[in-house]
Amino acid sequence: MSAPSAALQRLRLRTELRRARVAADLTQRQVAAKMEWSPSKLIRIEAGEVGISVNDLRPLLAAYGIGDRRKIDALLDLARGSRKMPFTEFRDVYGKEFLQFLALESAASIIRHYGSLVIPGLLQTEEYARAVMTAYDKGVSDEALDRAVEARLTRQEVLSAEGGRQLFFILDESVVRRRVGGRGVMRAQLERLAELGAEPHITIQVLPFSIGTHPAMQGPFTLFEFEAEEMPDSLYLEDPRGGTYAGNSAEETGRYLETFWELEDLAIKDEAGVVLPRLAARMGEGSDDLETLLENEAE
């Protein structure tokens, strides 16, 4: 990929700072006392929730006993590059947990997502996004709705092929057949999916009802992989209330990666790029399942 993003630089820096503190055999409380900081400040820095200034970083590295000039310069460069995190202007829209998710999303070299209920936010049209957000909160004001839609569309900058990012999406058949926002909105959404799926760096597959039970029926999940070797793969799970669980243990992310690969084998492989355009054309017509619909189209 191109030059490291601010998000990736902050993620690298927090990893290095945690590692340095542990190597110095210091607790967070001890470091905070040495630096005359509140413990919460160090906790937030190590969690990647906030950046750290160069002026704060220099004495922190001294407290950790780091004297190597090249090491210090490298960490200072990370601090400078990580000051402007993406999406901070949308703190009025997103909570800190989801801002962390967006930081990972913007920094990942590979994104894998399984969706079981709605089109993923990265792939939503403006009209679809509005319909979904209104359904989630019928009392939302026009101003708040406009702001949330703006934030969602800004996220979609990661769909650009710049930097070699690869994106893989597997959608349950219910996602592409549920008529969100009316027939016209849903048809436009499916046409958008077809356009995106034609991009060489984006793969969109549909998991048909006909396969029956499968290992991801518990809900949607997202996996992030990073070009930087020191960055562990990360997993995000969504709960029905919109909350998230994040983890980066190799065992856990590996298990979900194997599940995703299994879903890829089960999902319809659309090398000819005809599934989503056919669904868009037939939106609202008949009640056949996905495989029957495709068989009818082939006749």
Which strands form 202-207's sheet, in the order they lie side by side?
202-207, 166-172, 110-115, 221-225, 234-238, 244-247
Both 152 and 207 in one domain: the answer is yes
Structural domain includes residue 277: yes
Q: Could you report the per-residue pLDDT of 210-265, keeping only the tens digit for each?
A: 999 998 998 899 999 988 776 788 999 876 555 567 787 889 999 999 999 999 99
Q: Which of 64, 81, 98 is the last residue of a domain?
A: 81
- Distance from C-alpha of 169 to C-alpha of 188, rounded to nearest angstrom: 18
Q: What is the pLDDT of residue 102?
A: 82
Both 172 and 283 in one domain: the answer is yes
Both 169 and 230 in one domain: the answer is yes
Please, which residues have CB within 8 angstroms of residue 112's CB and are 6 or more apart in sequence? Answer: 167, 168, 169, 222, 223, 225, 257, 260
CA distances from 274 to 116, 159, 192, 224, 266 (A): 21, 21, 13, 28, 18
Q: Could you report the per-residue pLDDT of 149-188, keeping only the tens digit for each?
A: 998 898 898 898 676 789 999 999 999 989 999 989 999 9
Both 56 and 106 in one domain: the answer is no
Both 176 and 247 in one domain: the answer is yes
Q: What is the distance between the terminal CA atoms of the chain, rounded to a whole angstrom? A: 44
- Inter-residue contact 269 to 200 (CB < 8 Å): no
Question: In this structure, what token pair is assigned to residue 103?
Answer: 């930081």
Both 126 and 38 in one domain: the answer is no
Q: Could you report the per-residue pLDDT of 107-120, keeping only the tens digit for each?
A: 889 999 999 999 99
Structural domain includes residue 1: no
- Inter-residue contact 1 to 164 (CB < 8 Å): yes
Residue 156 maps to which CATH number? 3.30.870
Structural domain includes residue 131: yes
**pLDDT: which is higher, 279 or 8:** 279
In DSSP terms, which residues pair with 203 in a beta bridge? 168
Residue 54 maps to which CATH number? 1.10.260.40
Give residue 1's pLDDT band: very low, low, confident or very high (50, 70, 90).
very low
Q: What is the pLDDT of residue 295?
A: 61
Look at the block and give the residue holding tokens 């659309």. 270
Q: Could you report the per-residue pLDDT of 49-89, keeping only the tens digit for each?
A: 778 889 999 999 999 999 999 999 999 988 887 766 667 77
Both 161 and 197 in one domain: the answer is yes
Q: What is the pLDDT of residue 72?
A: 93
Both 38 and 173 in one domain: the answer is no
Structural domain includes residue 159: yes
The total domain count for the chain is: 2
Structural domain includes residue 63: yes
Both 161 and 195 in one domain: the answer is yes
- What pTM did the predictor assign? 0.77
Q: What is the pLDDT of residue 285?
A: 60
Q: Which of 30, 63, 81 is the last residue of a domain?
A: 81
Q: What is the pLDDT of residue 17?
A: 92
Would you say residue 38 has pLDDT above 80? yes
Range of the domain at 73: 6-81
Mean pLDDT calculated for residue range 199-215: 93
**From the CB of residue 263, how many other CB atoms can be counted at a distance below 10 Å?**
20
Both 75 and 122 in one domain: the answer is no
Q: Which of 81, 97, 130 is the last residue of a domain?
A: 81
Both 20 and 131 in one domain: the answer is no
Both 47 and 140 in one domain: the answer is no
